[in-house]
């Protein structure tokens, strides 16, 4: 079960344990209702912040960093067209190009902060 992967994190990080427990419980509820479909869950940064109720951006940064480092979640950046659809996914800010081709508008566009969206996906474990 996915929630078992949270136990060491919760024990080792008592200062943010409450936020980690809330994320674990949320994913456990999805896993209980939908089984392995929990590994298809992707949420934006706002949704993950709401679930964790981390309180501050500093605490939330600790939560997300731990989830990614522990291999529970994967972080990726999505470059979106101003018209909405995804153009490109990159794994970090360093991989983000300064320009991309927007196929909907047929133009090269400069990538700005408003075109980027941070997404978190549940990472598959050795069984999935």
Per-residue pLDDT reduced to its tens digit, 48-84: 999 999 889 999 999 999 999 999 999 999 999 998 8
Query: Cβ–Cβ contacts within 10 Å for residue 53, how many?
Result: 13
pLDDT of residue 126: 63
Give the global pTM: 0.83
Q: Strand 73-80 and strand 86-90: pairing? A: antiparallel
pLDDT greater than 60 at residue 127? no
Residues 6+ apart with CB under 8 A from 72: 2, 5, 6, 9, 122, 123
Domain definitions of the chain by residue range? 2-122
CA distance 43 to 120: 5
pLDDT of residue 2: 76
CA distance 112 to 79: 9
pLDDT of residue 124: 84
What whole-number percentage of the chain has pLDDT above 90?
79
CA distance 54 to 14: 13
pLDDT greater than 70 at residue 12? yes
pLDDT greater than 90 at residue 36? no
Q: What tens digit of pLDDT does each residue of 88-111 get?
A: 999 888 999 999 999 999 999 999
**Which 8-state DSSP code applies to residue 95?**
G
pLDDT of residue 92: 87
pLDDT greater than 80 at residue 128? no
């Amino acid at each position: 079960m996915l929630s078992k992967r949270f136990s060491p994190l919760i024990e080792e990080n008592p200062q943010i344990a409450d936020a980690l427990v809330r994320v674990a419980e949320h994913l456990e509820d999805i896993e209980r209702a939908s089984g392995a479909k929990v590994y298809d869950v992707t949420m934006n940064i706002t949704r993950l912040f709401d679930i964790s109720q981390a309180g501050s951006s500093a605490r939330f940064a600790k939560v997300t960093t731990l989830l990614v480092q522990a291999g529970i979640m994967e972080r990726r950046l999505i470059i979106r067209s101003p018209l909405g659809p995804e153009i490109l996914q990159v794994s970090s800010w360093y991989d983000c190009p300064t320009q991309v081709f927007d196929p909907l508008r047929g133009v090269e566009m400069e990538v700005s902060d408003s075109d980027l969206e941070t997404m978190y996906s549940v990472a598959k474990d050795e069984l999935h």
